[in-house]
């Protein structure tokens, strides 16, 4: 069996010779809450309680002195003799592994004779360091991690765990030069540049993970820093949000009817409230043949609509006051109107692009966006102030406000004591005139929704020649469809979109 450091051997990583991440000191008393493999049998995670605090520990297979020296030699050989791949469409990790095996056979005599288990560990670290994310590679592989951040040298890397929330890890960057080089590597992986001249970075890493970083002490007191928001390869669908309790079936059916009729929505909440996840899930409820244009700084949204244009902004590194090479969200929202979209989706509004979006909604396009705010009243105040400058008369063009928040749950749901909930849903009748349609009860963990009071459903029913009873019956029919979908076990974005397409085909 591949060896790990024993409990008595575990020390914090301080750039020492031996590889393998630290766990705890010899004398510390700890309790293992949960453990699971990320790369069996080379990397294991342990969630422990130590001195009353919960910590996230990475336990990687350790290398002997001889294995470590061989690993360094092989890594050096690869950087010197790496042959270019025949095509750009290649898995980098698999390619580095194949090259490592090729060169280890070619230089077997100089690298030394080692057993199969030793080579397996060496290959793991070579691929981890050259094709992966080095010290934090295990964190990037862990599907339970949402965010990874480090605030400076000699400070622990923190993670946001889906089950245990914010946790310190046993991974620490102790060497400032090594840490700065790591930040530069992250920037290059995102196809961007970071330096003392340009010490701020917002980029997308391979796998669509979002990176924010600062360089050295130009703007961050403790030196370089970074935060990686991991992209969920399988994004939450509307069925997932119902199953997790973020919304219920009746609210989902209500949103479906609104989106079908080009009503505009604004999703508000704090950082990590689930705004982007909600926005992405709602995209599947838009009619399959509608044209969608998404506008973002970093491409995070993903829809299976065929008639979809994805636009992302571009930041320039040009010096001087005249900067014609940057492309802002404002530019993209204006451009999107040329595409004759049914819906314009803006990932997040916080500047003059808000004004352009409201102008687009005023001309008959549907609009959906997210925005940082802790209430609809505060969101409207932001919209009508600098730099958004949306006129008060335009506010009711955004028909619905949806407020999301991360909350403590009165009882566990899916093994969690916290979750994300749609706290309030308002219909915006006029400036400073809102109608509460739904409110979440923290005591019961239930949504109290009053669709019979909906002003928008009344408007839709009049346009379509329905009675109020007819439109409420249609909402109920779609609620039943969504309930059946939840019970069917089909939950991925693709499966949900396919079922919604079938629903429209039957109409």
For 174-235, give the DSSP string.
Answer: --HHHHHHHHHHHHHHTT----SSS-EEEEEETTTEEEEEE-TTSS-TTS-EEEEE---SS-
pLDDT at 317: 54
pTM above 0.75, yes or no: yes
Q: By three-state DSSP, how is residue 245 classified?
A: coil
Two structure tokens written together for 261? 């009729």
The pair phi, psi for residue 437, each rounded to 5°, is: -100, -35
Preceding peptide of 114 cis, ω within 30°: no
Domain 143-229: state its class: alpha beta
Tell me how far apart the alpha carbons of residues 33 and 78 are, in angstroms, rounded to a whole number.
Answer: 40
Q: Residue 208: what pLDDT?
A: 87
CA angle 365, 366, 370 (to 5 degrees): 130
What's the pLDDT score for residue 393?
95
**pLDDT of amino acid 89:** 80
Range list of β-strands (E), 18-138: 30-39, 43-50, 53-60
From first CA to last CA, the distance across the chain in angstroms is 60
Q: Which of 426, 378, 422 lies closest to 404 in space, CA to CA?
A: 422
For residue 9, the model assigns a pLDDT of 36
Spatial distance between the Cα atoms of 200 and 154, rounded to a whole number of angstroms: 21
Q: What is the pLDDT along the chain (507 residues), one digit of tens a residue?
A: 455 543 333 433 333 335 655 444 445 678 999 999 999 999 999 999 988 899 999 999 999 999 999 999 999 999 999 878 877 788 889 999 999 999 999 998 889 889 999 999 999 999 999 999 999 999 999 999 999 999 999 999 999 998 899 999 999 999 999 999 999 999 999 999 999 999 999 899 998 899 999 999 999 999 999 999 998 878 899 999 999 999 999 999 999 999 999 999 999 999 889 999 999 999 999 999 999 999 998 888 988 899 999 999 887 655 454 455 689 999 999 999 999 999 999 999 999 999 999 999 998 999 999 999 999 999 999 999 999 999 999 999 999 999 999 998 887 766 667 899 999 999 999 999 999 999 999 999 999 999 999 999 999 999 999 999 999 999 999 999 999 999 999 999 999 999 999 999 887
CATH 3.40.50.300 fits 238-315+325-506, yes or no: yes
Tell which phi-psi region holds residue 58, choosing left (phi > 0), alpha (psi between -120 and 50) or beta: beta
Please list the alpha-helical segments (H only) found in 304-452.
Answer: 329-336, 353-362, 376-383
Taking a C-beta distance cutoff of 8 angstroms, is the pair 478, 255 a contact?
no
Cα 449 from Cα 437, distance rounded (Å): 6
Q: Residue ranges per domain, the chain?
A: 67-134, 143-229, 238-315+325-506
């Amino acid at each position: 069996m591949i060896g790990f450091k024993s409990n008595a051997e575990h020390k914090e990583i301080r750039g020492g010779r031996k590889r393998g991440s630290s766990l705890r000191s010899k004398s510390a008393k700890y309790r293992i809450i949960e453990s699971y493999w990320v790369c069996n049998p080379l990397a294991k995670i342990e969630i422990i309680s130590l001195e009353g605090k919960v910590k996230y520990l990475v336990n990687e297979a350790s290398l002997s002195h001889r294995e470590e020296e061989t690993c360094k030699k092989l890594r050096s050989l690869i950087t010197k003799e790496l042959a270019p791949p025949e095509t750009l469409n290649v898995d980098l990790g698999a390619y580095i592994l194949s090259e490592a095996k090729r060169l280890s056979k070619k230089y077997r005599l100089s690298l030394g004779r080692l057993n199969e288990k030793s080579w397996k560990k060496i290959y793991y670290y070579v691929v981890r360091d050259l094709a992966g994310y080095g010290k934090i590679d295990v964190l990037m592989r862990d599907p339970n991690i949402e965010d990874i951040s480090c605030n400076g040298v000699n400070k622990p890397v923190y993670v946001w765990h889906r089950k245990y929330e914010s946790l310190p890890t046993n991974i620490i960057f102790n060497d400032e030069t090594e840490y700065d080089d790591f930040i530069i590597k992250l920037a290059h992986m995102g196809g961007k540049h970071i330096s003392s001249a340009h010490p701020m970075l917002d980029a997308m890493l391979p796998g669509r993970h979002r990176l924010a970083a600062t360089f050295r002490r130009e703007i961050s007191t403790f030196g370089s820093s970074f935060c990686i928001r991991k992209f969920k390869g399988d994004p939450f669908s509307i069925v997932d949000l119902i199953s997790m309790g973020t919304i219920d079936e009746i609210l989902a059916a209500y949103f479906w009817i609104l989106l079908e009729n080009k009503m505009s929505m604004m999703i508000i909440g704090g950082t990590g409230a689930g705004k982007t996840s909600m926005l992405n899930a709602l995209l599947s409820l838009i009619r399959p043949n509608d044209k969608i244009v998404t506008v973002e700084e970093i491409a995070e949204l993903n829809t299976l609509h065929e008639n979809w244009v994805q636009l992302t902004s571009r930041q320039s590194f040009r010096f001087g006051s005249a900067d014609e090479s940057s492309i802002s969200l404002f530019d993209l929202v204006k451009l999107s109107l040329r595409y004759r979209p049914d819906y314009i989706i803006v990932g997040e509004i916080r500047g003059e692009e808000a004004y352009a979006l409201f102008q687009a909604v005023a001309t008959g396009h549907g609009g959906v966006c997210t925005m940082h705010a802790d209430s609809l009243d505060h969101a409207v105040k932001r919209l009508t102030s600098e730099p958004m400058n949306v006129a008060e008369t335009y506010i009711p063009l955004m028909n619905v406000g949806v407020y999301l928040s991360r909350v403590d749950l009165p009882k566990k749901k899916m093994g969690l004591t916290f979750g994300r909930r749609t706290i309030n849903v308002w219909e915006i009748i006029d400036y400073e005139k809102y109608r509460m349609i739904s409110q979440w009860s923290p005591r019961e963990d239930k949504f109290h929704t009053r669709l019979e009071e909906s002003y928008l459903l009344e408007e839709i029913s009049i346009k379509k020649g329905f009675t109020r009873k007819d439109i409420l019956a249609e909402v109920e029919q779609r609620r039943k469809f969504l309930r059946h979908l939840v019970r069917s076990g089909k939950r991925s974005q693709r499966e949900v979109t396919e079922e919604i397409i079938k629903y429209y085909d039957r109409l």
